[in-house]
Amino acid sequence: MSKISNTNLNVIVKLNSAFNLSLPVSVEEFLEKTGKIFLFAKRFFTEAFLPPFDFREAYKQSFSIGYKSLPLIGITGFIIGFTLTLQSIPTLNKFGAASLVPSMVAVAVLREIGPVISSLIFAGKIGSGIGAELGSMRVTEQIDAMEVSGTRPFRYLVVTRIIASTFTLPLLVIYADLIALLGGFIAVNISSPMNLNLYFMSAFSGLGFMDVIPATIKTYFFGFAIGLVGCNEGWNAARGTESVGIAANTAVVISSLMVIIIDMLAVQITSLL
C-alpha cells in the first residue's frame, strides 16, 4: 500500500513540475492553499464595503472582460447547441419524439451545459489573464510601489476585477444560451424545416422556474470563484518571471475545479428544493 501511495505521489509531483503548476500534492499543502483562498476572500469582503469604491475601474474591467470574451463564448455556445441537437435528433426519432428536440436542447443547455461550459471557457481566458496581469505587476514591483504610495492597490486591482467577473459572467452565459438555441435551430432545419417562432415556442414550453433561476444564480458564484482565484494567484505570485506563468496556469486549474465543485453543490441544493 505504501509503495502504491509513494508511486502515485511521485507521478503527481512529476506532472506538477512538468506543467509548471503550483498545485498541492499533499493534504497539508491542499489545506494551506484552501486557507489562503479563504483568507483572500475574507480580505475582499472587508475591502469591498469600505468607501470609496472605484466604480469607473469596475466598469472598465467589466467592459474589458465581457468584450474580450464575447467571440469565444459565442462560438462555444453555437457549437454546443448545434452539436447537441444533431446528436439528439437520430435518437429521439427512434422513439417518435422528434418534436421534443427543441425543448430537450433548451433544458439541457440552460440548466447545465451552457453555464458550466461557458464558465470553464471564461476561467481559461479571463482567470488566466487576471492571474498573469496581477502576477506581472507583482514581479515588476508595481503593486509594491502602489502600496508605498498609499493608494490601496488591493481595492483598485482586486476588488474591481472580482466584482467585474462576478456580474459579467451571468450576462455572458445568457448570451451563450441564446446563441446555443440559434445553433440548435439551424441544426433542426438541416433535417426538417421549422419556423423560428415555432422552434422557440417549443423550446421554452418545457422550461420552468427551477430550470432558469437556479442556473442563473449559480453563474454569479462561478464568476466570483474565477475572479477570486485569478486575483489570489496573481496577487501572491512569487518573485521571478516564471512565477507569472505559474500563476496563470494555476488560476485556470483551480478556478475550473471550483466551477465543477460549485456546480455539483448547486445541483444537490436544487434537487432538495
Q: Which amino acid is at 124?
A: G
236 near 143, Cβ under 8 Å? no
Q: Cis omega before residue 153 (within 30°)?
A: no
Mean pLDDT by groups of 10 residues along the chain of 273 residues: 45 44 62 87 88 85 88 93 89 79 89 92 91 88 82 88 94 94 91 85 83 90 94 85 84 92 90 78
User: In one letter, which amino acid is 58?
Assistant: A
Confirm if 82 and 183 have CB atoms less than 8 A apart: yes
Supply the pLDDT for residue 240: 73
Burial 76-111, CB ≥16 within 10 A → b, else e: bbbebbbebbbebbeeeeeeeebebbbbbbbbbbbb
Could you count the other beta carbons within 10 Å of the beta carbon of residue 241? Answer: 10
Domain residue extents for the chain: 27-272
The rounded distance, in Å, linking the Cα atoms of 42 and 229 is: 13
pLDDT of residue 1: 44
pTM reported for the whole predicted model: 0.84
pLDDT at 91: 82
What is the per-residue pLDDT for 212? 86
